[in-house]
Structure 1
């Protein structure tokens, strides 16, 4: 994680919803098919709900039918950190924001070409910036 970025847990508890806090800070998971971005396919960027780091592009989002937003790649390899996670039925890695350490979801090696990766990400860990939004 970015050693210069500090997460104030008390400030996060005030700023995030209980579900966003549980997912990002306590490695929680939202219920399948419940997230606001599961069926969103508008053009834009998906950013970390904690630190606003740009993580995923709508260009790599696809409908995996898994119940969570799925991407076949990240904007840049340095935007996330992967940590082995052997708790699931399939081999997978936990996906963390490289800037603030927020838990985002998991990546599994059953995605579409060319990467063959499925970044299965909780909507609660993301904000969406539409392509045509003014900065």
Structure 2
């Protein structure tokens, strides 16, 4: 009985040490310095509460809540924070997910990162100029084009019609 108790204590001690050791490891991610940087206070002055939540706190708006979800006029969807052109309407499609969806971004204007906020890795999309969170990219887009679906929060975007 004493041997079983000792084995049990060794197992518990090993698990405790290994869990504590891993919990203390901090993953340091090199943060990119973006061309446009502002303090939280400065961002709050220029963004609505919803835009701030999405772009600066990596939030997600409710599905089917954005008026931009059904905008298909010719033009450009730009970052609501810094006005960088991000997506062209010719690359927009109805994914049925409730968020504006595109099969590709304007070249070099969107950065890719990885987030683990839901407990698994997802490819996060960020504005390459200000670092604002836009949404995520998935591999279930139109097969006849890129096969990608850039699932974007409408509050992260502003639409600029082509003729203006």
Q: Which residue of 2 aligns with 1:83?
A: 113
58 and 85 in structure 1: CA distance in 2 versus 1, 3 angstrom threshold: same
Deviations 1:38-76 (A, max 9, x none): 111111000001111110000000000000000000111
Aligned equivalent of 1:41: 72
> What is the TM-score normalised by the length of structure 2?
0.75
Partner residue of 2:136? Answer: 106
Shift of residue 87, structure 1, vs aligned partner = 4.5
Bigger Rg over Cα: 2
Shift, 1:4, TM fit:
3.6
> Where in structure 1 are there 5+ consecutive unaligned residues?
none
Q: Which runs of 5+ in 2 are unaligned?
A: 1-31
SS, match of residue 38 in structure 1:
helix
Alignment of 1:1-135 (within 5 A): 1=32, 3-76=34-107, 78-87=108-117, 92-113=122-143, 114-133=145-164
1:8 CA drift (Å): 3.4
TM-score (norm 1): 0.90
Structure (1 or 2) with the greater helix fraction = 2
Deviates more, 1:81-90 or 1:23-32: 81-90
Count how many residue pairs are aligned between Structure 1 and Structure 2: 132
User: 3-state SS of the aligned residue for 1:33?
Assistant: coil
Alpha-carbon RMSD across the aligned residues, in angstroms, is: 1.8
**Larger RCO (alpha carbons 8 Å, 6+ apart):** 1
Higher strand share goes to which structure?
1
In 2: Cα distance, 1:91 partner to 1:61 partner:
25
